[in-house]
Structure 1
Amino acid sequence: MISVANEMLYVLFGVCGLFFYLDNHHPLILLFLVLYILYLLRNRFKTLIILIIVGSIYLINYKLQLERLLKYDKDKIITCTVVSFPQEKEKYTQFYCKSRNFKYLVYDKSITNNMPLGTVIQLENNLQLVKNNTIPYQFNYRKYLLSQKIQYVNYVEDVKITRMNKRIDFKLINTLHSYYQDTPNKGYLLSFILGDKNALDNDFNEATQFLNISHLFVVSGFQVAFLYLVCHIMMKYLHITKETSKLISQIIIILFLIINCFSVSIFRAVMLIILIELKNKKHLPIDNIHILSIIWLINLFVNPFVMYNSGFVLSYLITLILFLSRIILMHKRSYIISIYRVNIICQLFALPITANFDFHFNVLSVLLTPLLSLYYIFVIFPFTLICLLFKPLSKLLYYGFSIFDQIILKLATITYFDLNVGVFTETRYIIYYVCLFFIFRMLENKKKPILLIILLTINISFYHKLILVDEVIFFDVGQGDSTFINAETYNCRALIDTGGARNYKPGNTTIKYLSSIQIAKLDYLF
């Protein structure tokens, strides 16, 4: 059993490759899978057998769950339970709702935003299948919803509240949510403790995304590790035995997982802590990397579409990279240098994923993120825990949060270091990560990968500018089609109809598309 567990990292690579091939059937991904299978056949035959078994089960599970999600409730009136806090938009309220067998995204035009978690409602059946994005390289909302096992949205004019679900976790979350509504730091409290993504205002969220530090303001494995450490210190101060201390600390982080509705990043951190503690207690010869791989595979079997969730991929990828790169991460003489190394490695491996949100990378974040992270670690998050336990202290500690807000908003106004990197396509992904892999291999062997660093820099900065293709692109802009003519041979770019609709800023869609292919200037606009 132990020998099988120590093969899980290699199995994980194969299953992830299978997922990406199922997603878009790209020939380069198929080539990777073939080469990977040949490598395993030659060097790790036992791993190949395990991969074939696990991969076959995953493929069957993927097909069966996808087929099941295409079914839906056929009753004229749907009874379901609200499982997310309603998010108020300009003309509707948006929330997730779960019936007995299915989960839906609901758009309520009656603006009913006073529904706590666990509210059982009845609404008219106006289900519509979520459509794919029609604009190249833009955020694919259908895939994001699929990562949460949602295939249908429901547009309703009215919602009828019938009763409250009596589940304990709903009651606990609602109690915490309402208790901290009147505190000056409620945005941090609700964001860090309950994972409420809408608790912080839009300007602040945009500023953190621009600075590439948005990961600090979502519930993640850091909060779990910090909470576990604080519990250990408190138990030690109270002279509680080591075993009892671990047990109590694990119960606390499991409760933290429950109030965050089993968030994928929290689940990863909690399971990793529990399994590593179990490994150490039983003296099992299993590397932490393989434990992480097992947890990753468990997630994939529970939800075969979870890889469409960028947060999930980033959470596991960064943890995996930190485990694999620990040889070159730590600097014996300087803690600050170690932090900067961790930051640079994390940003490099996360870049292709985060860049596909807005197609930009702020070079300044390489210098700023470690400093902001230190302030977050030693001031913001401890203050949040203090405010959580001692609500009256919220006003006294408000200035610590306010200073952080002002610093971030000011830094976000510095746009000089903002680099348009464009979209990372499948081919670009492969080139980028292959370069990065060999760079770190050479660094571990004390070699200087100068040529590879130059190639990686070109990939980041000039990839789309080096693709000399003449093309005409048509895409939906809300009020008809926009036409982009890109004649690289003649160094000429023209756009016909910028587009725009009532609920979108004119030209917003076209600007995002042009940014995705690193176009900053048009020669003709019609």
Structure 2
Amino acid sequence: MLWNKSLQQKAFKDKVEITKNEIILEPDEFQIDGDLLKLSGFWIEGNQKIQAYYNIGTKNEKKHLSKIDTIKTLVVTANVEQILPPTNENQFDYRTFMRGKKIVNTAQISKLEVGDEAPHQGAIADLIAATHGLRKRILNYFAALPAPLNGYSQILLLGYYSQNFSTQLEQINKLGLLHLFSLSGMHIFYILSAIRFVLGYMHITRETCEDLILIILPFYAILGGLSSSLIRAVMMSWLMILSSKFFDNGLDGVEAEAVVLLLNLLYSPELVHSMGAQLSYLLTFVLMMSKKMNVWQLGLKMNGYSVPLILWHTFRWNMLTTVTSILIIPVFEWIIIPSVLLGVLFPQLSFLCNEILFWIAKGIEVTAKLPSNIVFGKPPLAIVIFWLGLMFALEVVKSKKKIYFWKFVSYLLVGIMIKMPLHDEIVFLDIGQGDCTLIRRRFNREITLIDTGGKISFQNKQWQKRHSKENGETVVANYLLSKGVSKVNWLFLTHQDTDHVGNFPVISRLVKIEKILVPSGMEKTASFERRLLLSANKKQDVVPISTEKVE
């Protein structure tokens, strides 16, 4: 493909050092996690967008960087190299994810200076930059609100995933409700309805109202963070309004979605690889084709379409997803969204609105802890397409019993195939620093993990602590779950160095560990006891083994 070739030509085959190069940074395109600055900006000398990282040196420097709320020019010295593909099976493909954003290179910055505001590039570019600055200031205002109102307002109104809201997001995701709480197409319906109501109350004509909406929508897409689902919703609404001005009937929803999908594929084909984009387009189509169904029928149908994609990407499914997604919709429409809007617009009501959201979050937390999560494993892509085909077949065939039969049988057989491999397996996982070896007996009769890997960290101050995911979750646990493994029978920890045991706590919270075998005496060390407290295991799960030399 020409698009793929032109993008790949920008990738650096070897690591290159750059000195005093300039990166244009939008104020809402960076995050600070402990002492790590993560940003995406336009690299002027390289004539491309780039993902960059910088280790912050001091607490004052962190405070200075966090206050950036206008477009800036960063002067950097860095090592630039292409984003590498994953090195483990079923590991998250960060390279493909970033290619969806048209980024192929990453920069590790060693020196950074924040220059003046970026030069003006025309009226439209300045307006877009001002919109990014407005988004940053609104995010800062939301962040100062009490929790959990701050996290809900950021994700629902601006599509921003706060690190302080990560625990709630994990619970929401565990119940399969993340598509509701992320900034998606359904929010556009509320926004357009609110705009039309306000303008109608001001006695502005319908034609003028529609013209204003055509102007407002693109800038709201920037305010919302330009997520794939938001872009789809904004472009669909924009095309439907615009086409109605030139044609009697204009484009309907299905036609508008088809046009938007084609435009997205032309602009960035890699976007279709993300679960968010796939669910956004698919479920929107299902909604538009199922207007006569009641809430329960629609909920079951949407879950039937979404389960294959969820299993393909996350390897798990929650048995409560269907019920909770149906029950949460009226709560979402009539309680959560109004509470968020009232809480951010009227400070005097923020305490009351926050209390309402707090108890809703508690309900989600309790529900997420119920033992309803099924580790299925990753089905083959051909099977995923087959399952989706069966769902489409239900739309047209009269005799649906055979379709339901084949759905049940295929899910059962694929689940057995994943969970009961016919051969023994030894896997050496690439976890960067340290060792991690998996031994699986055929039919998953016994699962043994030797060491877990882990990254050595010398951080000892509160402002330096990071909250990013560990490779114990993104690599080790991810591989186990993709193979349908929900329980490890034996975990051997050979010694207490961090690069061998550091990932143990996070793995134990995602995959059950029956017995932990350690060298005698290691179970009494302070470092191991701290890790045990952070894990899902207890002291009685630890088995010390004597390592005395035998003569």
TM-score, reference length from structure 2: 0.75
**1:395-453: per-residue Cα shift (whole Å, max 9, x none)?**
34222222222111221211x211011123323323322333334433xx363233123
Query: Is 1:156 matched with 2:109?
Result: yes
The aligned runs of 1:119-198 (5 Å cut-off) are 119-165=72-118, 167-184=129-146, 185-198=149-162
Q: Tell me, which stretches of 5 or more residues in structure 1 are unaligned?
A: 1-58, 332-337
Equivalent residue number for residue 516 of structure 1: 482
Q: Kindly state the Cα deviation for residue 501 of structure 1 after the two structures are TM-superposed.
A: 3.4
SS of 1:409's partner is helix
Q: 1:251 to 1:391 in 2, by over 3 A?
A: farther
Q: Tell me, which stretches of 5 or more residues in structure 2 are unaligned?
A: 119-125, 458-468, 493-551
Distance in 2 (alpha carbons) for counterparts of 1:433 and 1:469: 30
Q: Kindly state the Cα deviation for residue 132 of structure 1 after the two structures are TM-superposed.
A: 1.4
Distance in 2 (alpha carbons) for counterparts of 1:68 and 1:157: 22
Q: Kindly state the Cα deviation for residue 217 of structure 1 after the two structures are TM-superposed.
A: 2.2
**1:154-198: per-residue Cα shift (whole Å, max 9, x none)?**
222342110124632233223323333432222222222222112
Equivalent residue number for residue 396 of structure 2: 441
Amino acid at match of 1:306: L
Query: Is 1:108 matched with 2:58?
Result: no
Q: Kindly state the Cα deviation for residue 139 of structure 1 after the two structures are TM-superposed.
A: 1.1
Correspondent of 1:417 among 346, 367, 372: 372
Q: Kindly state the Cα deviation for residue 493 of structure 1 after the two structures are TM-superposed.
A: 4.5
Distance in 1 (alpha carbons) for counterparts of 2:140 and 2:34: 23
Amino acid at match of 1:422: G
Correspondent of 1:77 among 3, 12, 20: 20
Distance in 2 (alpha carbons) for counterparts of 1:285 and 1:505: 50
Correspondent of 1:68 among 10, 25, 35: 10
Determine if contact 1:211/1:412 at 8 Å carries over to the other structure: yes
**1:479-526: per-residue Cα shift (whole Å, max 9, x none)?**
455443444279555444443333686965433312211123456655
Instruction: Please give the root-mean-square deviation of Cα atoms over the aligned residues, in Å.
Output: 2.9
SS of 1:201's partner is helix
SS of 1:137's partner is coil
Equivalent residue number for residue 349 of structure 1: 305
The aligned runs of 1:321-470 (5 Å cut-off) are 321-323=286-288, 325-326=289-290, 330-331=292-293, 338-414=294-370, 416-442=371-397, 445=398, 447-448=400-401, 449-458=403-412, 461-465=415-419, 467-470=421-424
SS of 2:21's partner is strand
**1:106-164: per-residue Cα shift (whole Å, max 9, x none)?**
22111634133522211112112211111111211121111111122222234211012
Determine if contact 2:16/2:81 at 8 Å carries over to the other structure: no
Q: 1:475 to 1:257 in 2, by over 3 A?
A: same
SS of 1:122's partner is strand
Q: Kindly state the Cα deviation for residue 70 of structure 1 after the two structures are TM-superposed.
A: 4.7
Distance in 2 (alpha carbons) for counterparts of 1:505 and 1:298: 36
SS of 2:188's partner is helix
Distance in 1 (alpha carbons) for counterparts of 2:471 and 2:237: 49
Distance in 2 (alpha carbons) for counterparts of 1:492 and 1:478: 26
Determine if contact 1:82/1:116 at 8 Å carries over to the other structure: no
Distance in 2 (alpha carbons) for counterparts of 1:187 and 1:501: 29
SS of 2:429's partner is strand
Query: Is 1:300 matched with 2:244?
Result: no
**1:266-294: per-residue Cα shift (whole Å, max 9, x none)?**
22112211222344441357553232111
**1:267-323: per-residue Cα shift (whole Å, max 9, x none)?**
211221122234444135755323211111111212232223332222112212333
TM-score, reference length from structure 1: 0.78
Amino acid at match of 1:383: S
Equivalent residue number for residue 33 of structure 1: none
Determine if contact 1:421/1:460 at 8 Å carries over to the other structure: no
Query: Is 1:473 matched with 2:427?
Result: yes
Amino acid at match of 1:368: T
**1:327-374: per-residue Cα shift (whole Å, max 9, x none)?**
xx523xxxxxx2233333333322233334542211112111122222
Amino acid at match of 2:9: E
Q: Kindly state the Cα deviation for residue 464 of structure 1 after the two structures are TM-superposed.
A: 0.5
Determine if contact 1:69/1:102 at 8 Å carries over to the other structure: no
The aligned runs of 1:134-283 (5 Å cut-off) are 134-165=87-118, 167-184=129-146, 185-198=149-162, 201-281=165-245, 282-283=247-248
Distance in 1 (alpha carbons) for counterparts of 2:106 and 2:6: 21
Distance in 1 (alpha carbons) for counterparts of 2:90 and 2:444: 24
Distance in 1 (alpha carbons) for counterparts of 2:489 and 2:446: 6
Distance in 2 (alpha carbons) for counterparts of 1:507 and 1:259: 34
Distance in 1 (alpha carbons) for counterparts of 2:425 and 2:440: 5
Percent identical pairs in the alignment equals 23
Amino acid at match of 2:326: P
Equivalent residue number for residue 31 of structure 2: 87
Distance in 2 (alpha carbons) for counterparts of 1:500 and 1:425: 30
Q: Kindly state the Cα deviation for residue 251 of structure 1 after the two structures are TM-superposed.
A: 3.2
Equivalent residue number for residue 123 of structure 2: none
Greater mean alpha carbon deviation, residues 401-410 or residues 425-434: 425-434
Determine if contact 2:25/2:72 at 8 Å carries over to the other structure: yes
Q: 1:247 to 1:308 in 2, by over 3 A?
A: same
Count of equivalent residues: 456
Determine if contact 2:73/2:117 at 8 Å carries over to the other structure: yes
**1:438-481: per-residue Cα shift (whole Å, max 9, x none)?**
34433xx3632331231243267434025534444332133455
Determine if contact 2:16/2:79 at 8 Å carries over to the other structure: no
Distance in 1 (alpha carbons) for counterparts of 2:254 and 2:164: 34
SS of 1:397's partner is helix
